[in-house]
Amino acid sequence: MTAHLKKLWGALLLLVLMGGTGLLLARDLSPAAVAAAFHQADLRFLLMAAGLMTAFMVLETFKLRGLFLGLTGRKLGLRRSLGYAFVGFYFSAVTPSSTGGQPAQIYYMSRDGEDGAAAALTLLLMALAHQTSMVTLGGIFFATQRHFLLGQMTGLGLLFLVGWGANLAMLAGILALILKPEPALHAVSRVITLLGKKKILRDPEGLNHRLEEAAAAYGRGRQAAAEHPGRMVWLMAMTIAQALLMYLIPAAIYWAFHLRGFSLIQLLAVQSALTISVSTLPLPGSAGASEGSFLVLFRQVFGLSLVAPAMVLSRAVSFYLPLGISALGTAAVHLLPSRRKKQAFG
């Protein structure tokens, strides 16, 4: 397949995904519902919620940039780092259980000439920090606000326990893959060899050689991470800050409706429980489940008359608005010339 044809197929696939995003926005986010909710709320706190989401994306950009620099010594440009952050958010949002974000980021980073193994390790460490922060904060909030949360979780207690256990298992799996990647690499090598024997792959020896090079680069990055534990502490601090920024969005919406009865720690605890409950469901962006769980968990917080408008505004700020922006950012990353091509043409 020629490079031109590959680019055409890639653009076509991206257009299909963008079309799906448009349908998702049209189906789940009624303009009338948003307008009605918007008119009931204090604009200052809505701007605060949007600022929180913006800060979340900024931290994601600097996490990726800083960690990649620490592992490889290579400095990613700010614009490219932001583009990769958009790619991660977008493909995580439109794929079940957020499974598409990291593979898409690795693809675009490799396309731009970055070491794919180093990119994979960077994103694995970021995933490890994400899972650790989610499980840790969820445990802390549940331990300190147990009685309050149990009162909010009517019918969702089992979903929370399953979500927390599944995230704990995912955390263990990511940690095992980082510390002991050899079994996974051996399995991939065996598959490549088998497909070569079946004549499905044309150059299994070359692919296995590239796999060995990737394993060596992965090992160098892992050693760099072990030699600089301060970098991992920095990553965890940034990730916890991101989680708290996201958990603060429903609190900003709560204040926007001039409500003041519940404390900040209670509002953070409810959003933490919501995030854990729906995070492992095999739905793009946990669509449907997030909205339904919000209506249950926040019903007593907002009251029956305001919980639906609050859900609309919270999802608009924390998911649908960044989804639309990241879709545009992903299109820009895909359509603009890669760094490798720019270097080739001087």
Residues 6+ apart with CB under 8 A from 269: 141, 142, 144, 145, 148, 149
| pLDDT reported for residue 16 | 59
Q: Are 114 and 104 in contact (CB under 8 A)?
A: no
Calculate the alpha carbon distances from 177 to 58, 174, 231 in Å: 28, 5, 19
| pLDDT reported for residue 296 | 85
Structure tokens at 142: 């549940």
| pLDDT reported for residue 335 | 81
| pLDDT reported for residue 89 | 92
Nearest 10 degrees: CA dihedral of 139, 143, 144, 146?
A: 110
| pLDDT reported for residue 346 | 38
| pLDDT reported for residue 9 | 58
pLDDT by 10-residue block (mean), the chain, 346 residues: 55 57 54 76 95 96 92 89 94 80 90 88 89 92 90 74 84 81 79 82 77 71 78 94 97 96 95 87 58 86 90 90 90 75 44
| pLDDT reported for residue 345 | 35
Structure tokens at 15: 């257009």
∠ CA 224-225-228, nearest 5°, is 85
Helix (H, G, I), strand (E, B) or coil at 96: strand
Structure tokens at 51: 């600022």
| pLDDT reported for residue 155 | 65
204-227 helix and 229-256 helix, angle to the nearest 10 degrees: 80
DSSP conformation letters of 242-300: HHHHHHHHHHHHHHHTT--SS-HHHHHHHHHHHHHHHTTSSSBTTTTHHHHHHHHHTHH
Q: How many residues does the chain have?
A: 346
